[in-house]
Structures are given as structure tokens and as C-alpha cells.
Structure 1
């Protein structure tokens, strides 16, 4: 049996039904020759008395009631029930027990033994290492302590998980530097891209959705969660600088959009399905990655950057360190430079196939091959010992 082939993997991550993130891409590929048990998010904080948290709680209850479900060949999803409260040692002990029992029951049902636990979230720390694992992997894709709603509890959980891990995978150089201080068995595997999917933007047969096609050209576009790490003041500066352009934002808004009020050429269209994003990219002339520069973004590796380039789009970015390593991205170091680069990109005239080719070799399959190699080195070292 080769490394990461014919094995059982218990994956702790975000809820399966969300937007396709790095975790989904990786586990979908691994499911081709492994069995995957995907455990929906255990939560990194206690819920608040808000409509959004109430909706999430109701959905988690519905998902848990649905039991273990196979969402794709070789990939099952478990939505465990747990007490959504943090801080007290007694509650933590109860949660660890009830979640562990639910996972072990799912493993028995699937015939899993000695799995690799692959954790993308610090909240997996109490369970990781208690399932009879062959290996414990922590895959760090964000600086969780830098999220605006992060608590000391999250930092404690991540440290616990880092100390347990046989292998720590990081998606950016800054994450590698940070996590290797706690666990030297850390490696860098950058995010990939579903190149074939986004390159459909260059296919003449790909239709631009009607809500975008009806807007004035040129189009400066963005897709992704509109959260507090997106610099909406910078987006407004672009809209003001190019009043004849349509500035289009696709994604759910979880932060105030006040900076965009009164800008008649800004169109917030809401979240659109992943399957339709190539069509929207075909209708864009320039793409934006306008992240604020803070501890969260400085450690981040935004997925959308490679997706924009795969779609052939010029991509103007703020100076997030990881984006300097993405071919085809134009990094701006000030607001005025950002606006000027958007102007230059608009003059280039939209998607181009040669730009898309820059990231063809950075597929998710290639990234999973890197992961297989790191696991092989670890297992070979154990056998040699």
C-alpha cells in the first residue's frame, strides 16, 4: 500500500455544504483511492444571539438528524451533535466524549481502522489522536488567532493540535514560519486551482449570466465572502476612479457595506454557485483581490487569485505576501497604485488564454501529489526507525 492510497482518512473541516474550499478539493482527490470520513465543523466559538448563528445552529441540527451520508463515491459526511459552549473543562470533556463516540460509530459502520486524522480546524484538537490513528495531520490554511471573533480558546486548541501532529501542512510561508516554531515537522504546500473549471471562462460557448451581461462594460469583478478582511474602501476608490465601469461583487456579505453606499456603479449581486463562476469570469474584464493588510491576510493564501488567473483574467491585488508568488497577479503597494493598475489592466482588454496557462501546472492534483510525497517521507522514516 503506497502513501495516501488505500487508506482511511478522518477529515475535520468546515461544513461540507459550503463553498468549495481547499479542503474539499484535496479530499475529493484523495477519495479517488482512499475512504474519507468528513466531519463537519465542531465550531471554534460559542454561538451568539444573532440571526446568523441561529440559522447555522438550526442547519447543524438538521444535518445531524440526517445521519451519516455518502456525498460522493468514497466520501461520507458526518455532522456530529455537540454542546455549543466553550470555556468550562466539564463541558469540554462532555463534548470530547460525545463527538468521539459519534465518530467511532461512523468509523465502525464504514469499516475504518487506524485512520489518518486530517484536521483543518483547531476545534479538532480534543479528538485528534484519540481514534487509533496511524498519523495525525494538521493542515493550517489560516491564522485562526487573527480572525476578528477569535478567542484565547482557539489559540489554546491550535497549540494542542500542533503538539499532537505528526505532520503540519501549511499553505503560506508565514504560516510555515509561525507553526514550525511549535512543531518542526511542518511543510509548505501552497493552494492549487481547479484549472479546467475556471479555464471554461475562455470557451466561447460559456455564457455570461444575464444579471452580469446586462451591466455596462467594462466590468471590474470580485467573488468571495464579503467579510471584514475585504477592503471595501479600496473597492469604492476603484468605483469612483472608473465611473463608467461596473464594479461587481459576488458573495455573501457578513460585514457592513456602508463604504459602498451611493456608488451607482457598484453592484452587489450576492453569492453565486461555484458552477457558474466561469461564466461570470467570462464577463469580467479585470478581477480584484482587495484584502486589507493585517495579521489574517498576511498569513493567507487567497484561493481566488489563482482562480482568476486560470480564467485568463488580469488580477490586481493588495500586497498580500503569498500573492507575490502567484504568476499573473499584479501586486499594488498603495491605494493610488492599486487604482492605477486597475486602469492599466482595463486597457489590456479582458481574459487571455496565455495568462491562464501560467497556472495550469498548479492544479489541486499536483498539490495532492506533494501531500502524498510528504506523507511517504514520514511513513518511510517510521519504518526505517
Structure 2
């Protein structure tokens, strides 16, 4: 595929790097990318406010050698029905202007936003990539279920191809939409060398945001068992009850909470630990998810202990252990503390990481786009015509 890809994200470029940014960066290895931020309120984000006029004119910011970023400004109360409608109109105006200004023809549009519609008037291939169970995430996302449902239905009608990050989520969306949904799981960084021959520190590590998605009973059990626990990631909880429990957790003498850490530093920290933790609670939302952290641990050569969720069974690796309850989780963590993986385990994890790298995911997505292109008109050029 030639030309650029427009990637409509479910987050902001400078937020915590997740599925969208990692997949977009991998796509950029072969194609220029026009990245579109999730709408952000101008009163909360100074950068969005200062760039609002430029965004409406379709002006972008270079954030990587072949990635341009478009911010979408949103008005106050943008999650209300009226605010959402106005935000949608603003977003369409910004995206249309960016398409016209783009120095490269846009050959495809990937949309992974739960609220932003595909740009109108484009006849390039469109992929709707569903990264989470948005219909079960109204409280987490901050929009009403009715608005999220309407946005999903609208994008499902527009999409030529629909993908989802897990088998369960694909089946759910397929039943909802009455059409096939391809599985495009999350990926991981390529393995970057040997962990070394020295035994790792007897430390368990948890990477990611601290919020309501985590099973705090398990984390409290790990801490209460005296297991050294390093937590890498910011707090993002909304519940006061969860907030109080997190306060108590990070006060344990054996818990080392690092907060938000630059992405390049996370990998270094993983190499100092013995075992990675994926302690998600058993909820509808989590059952449809595909946690990024599990594959990232394995990519770093780090064995994993995870809770019993469908995505855990999708990863076939002897270095991944699945726990059914807090006591079992603690026991499995203790088994791995201070133990270096065998050469066979290291090779298995390395092979798994290569097979599931973000580059391989981007390649799979490009194949879907290329297949869809056969039934589509050519690219949308900057004069607003189809080449």
C-alpha cells in the first residue's frame, strides 16, 4: 500500500502509550500516518486551546519522522448530548481540512475511537478497530451508554472492515452488528536481547495504570505476603473506595510505587524483576480485553502470573501461569521470585514476542486494508478529489 494512513485514536498522542499509539507507530514503519487525537476539552488542555484555530484549518504537528498529529478541540460539557454533537461537527471540520492539506494522499482510514466518526465524504477503505468493550465502558470513558451505542452503530455502518482485540470481543461485536469481525490482538515490543546470566531480583512487577480494572484483593494479598512489589504506572481511579485501597497498598514497606515512568525506562525496570503481574478483575469489560502488559512482560523475558481471563488462555506460553484466586496467585508469584527462566523458556518467550510484535500486527492490518482496497476507489487527494 502506498500513500498515508489516517489513524483516528481513542487517546491523545502524549498520553500513556497504548494500543493506538503502538499500532500507529508500527504502521509508520511502512506508511506515513496522519494521527488524529481523541477530542479534548479546550478548558482542560492548554495545548488544545492554543492550537484550536490551527486544528480547524487542518494544521498538524510532526511528532515522528513520518507521523503528523491533528488535535481535535472540544467544547465544555462535550460528553453531554449537545456537547457531543458540537464536538462531532468540530472534529469533522478539522479532519476534512487536514485531508485537504495533507501532502500525501490518504489511502485508508483506521478508526479506534469510541466516539469519533469516520470523516465524511471519503471513499478510501475504512477499518473500525475496537480496542475495548466500549458498550460496557460508559463509566470508564465518561459518556452515556446511548451516545457510545449510537457512535458504534454509526461507525459499524461506515466501516469496510471491523477488527477487535480479542476473540470474545469480536464475537460480541459480530453479534451486535450482524457482520464478521476479524481478530487483531494487541502486540508487544520486539525482544531486544538477552536478560543476562545473573539471577533477577526477587521482585514482582506490575506495569500500567492503577484503577478500577485491577483486582485489589489480589494485589493486597501479594503485598500482605511480604512479596517485594514494584508498581510502574500512574493512578487513574475515579472511585473514592478504590482510592483509599490504593493509598493503603502503596504505603506497604515492600511496595515500591514508581508512578508514571518514560516508556524507554519501563523496559529497563522489567529486566530487574523476576515475574510480571496481570491482576485484572473478572468483569465484562476485562473479559473482552487483551492486556498489553502480558505480552510486554514476555517480550522482556519475564514470566507472568495472571488472573483467569479469556485473553490469558489465548497466549500459549509455558512461562505464563493462570491463577484462579488470590491465594493461588500469591503461590505462583512466590514460585518465580528470584528464579531465572531456563534457556528453553527464554527462547519460547522470544519466539512468542516476535510472532506477536506490533510490526506483525501492523502487517496483518495492512493486508486487511489491501484486500479492502480492491473494492474501493483510489485515494483521497489534497484537492478533495479521488486520484
CA distance in 1, matches of 2:196, 2:46: 41
Whether the aligned pair in 2 keeps the contact of 1:38 and 1:77 (CA below 8 Å) is: yes
1:202: which partner in 2? 195
Q: CA deviation at 1:85?
A: 2.9
> What per-residue deviation string (whole Å, max 9, x for no partner) do you get for residues 238-281 of structure 1?
1222x2x4211111012211451652211211111110112101
Mapped partners of 1:219, 1:65: distance in 2: 49
The equivalent residue for 2:381 is none
Offset of 1:336 from its aligned partner? 1.5
Unaligned runs of 5+ in 1: 48-52, 206-212
Using the TM superposition, give the Cα deviation of residue 220 of structure 1 relative to its aligned residue in structure 2, in angstroms.
1.0
- CA distance in 1: counterparts of 2:274 and 2:104, whole angstroms: 48
Question: Which residue in 1 is equivalent to 2:162?
Answer: 168
Summarize deviations over 1:117-159 as a string: whole Å, max 9, x none: 211112112xx15042312211001112323334221222122
Does structure 2 conserve the Cα–Cα contact (< 8 Å) formed by 1:166 and 1:185?
Answer: no
CA deviations on 1:276-331 (whole Å, 9 max, x unpaired) are 11210111111111111101110000111011011111110001211212223211
Alpha-carbon distance in structure 2 between the residues aligned to 1:183 and 1:246: 48
The answer on whether the counterparts of 2:114 and 2:152 sit within 8 Å (CA) in structure 1 is yes
- 1:134 aligns to what? 124
> Deviations 1:80-119 (Å, cap 9, x if unpaired)?
2232434766544433333222222222222355642211
Instruction: Quote the residue 2:350 is aligned against.
Output: 357
TM-score in terms of structure 2 length: 0.83
Taking a change above 3 Å as real, the CA distance of residues 200 and 295 of structure 1, as seen in their structure-2 partners, is same
Match of 1:332 in 2: 323
Q: Which residue of 2 aligns with 1:222?
A: 206
Match of 1:11 among 7, 12, 19: 7
Decide whether aligned partners of structure 1 residues 102 and 233 sit closer, same or farther in structure 2, where only a CA change above 3 A counts. Answer: same
Show structure 2 runs of 5+ residues with no match: 238-242, 378-387
Q: 1:99 aligns with which of 91, 99, 110?
A: 91
Aligned residue number for residue 246 of structure 1? 228
Shift of 1:35: 2.9
Contact preservation (8 Å) 2:202, 2:228: yes
The separation in 2 between residues aligned to 1:225 and 1:42, in whole angstroms, is: 21
Aligned residue pairs total 354
Q: How high is the TM-score relative to the length of structure 1?
A: 0.83
Is 1:271–2:260 an aligned residue pair?
Answer: yes
Q: What CA distance in whole angstroms lies between the structure 1 residues aligned with 2:108 and 2:362? A: 15
Equivalent position of 1:232 in the other structure = 216
Pairing 1:119-198 to 2, within 5 Å after superposition: 119-125=111-117, 128-147=118-137, 148-149=139-140, 150=142, 151-152=144-145, 153-181=147-175, 182-196=177-191
1:33 Cα deviation after fit: 3.4
Partners of 2:127 and 2:159 within 8 A in 1: yes
Match of 1:60 in 2: 48
Note closer, same or farther for the CA distance 1:82–1:258 as it changes in structure 2 (3 Å cut): closer
CA distance in 1, matches of 2:187, 2:259: 25
Structure 1 pair 358–27 and aligned structure 2 pair: CA distance change class (3 A): same
Q: CA deviation at 1:203?
A: 5.2
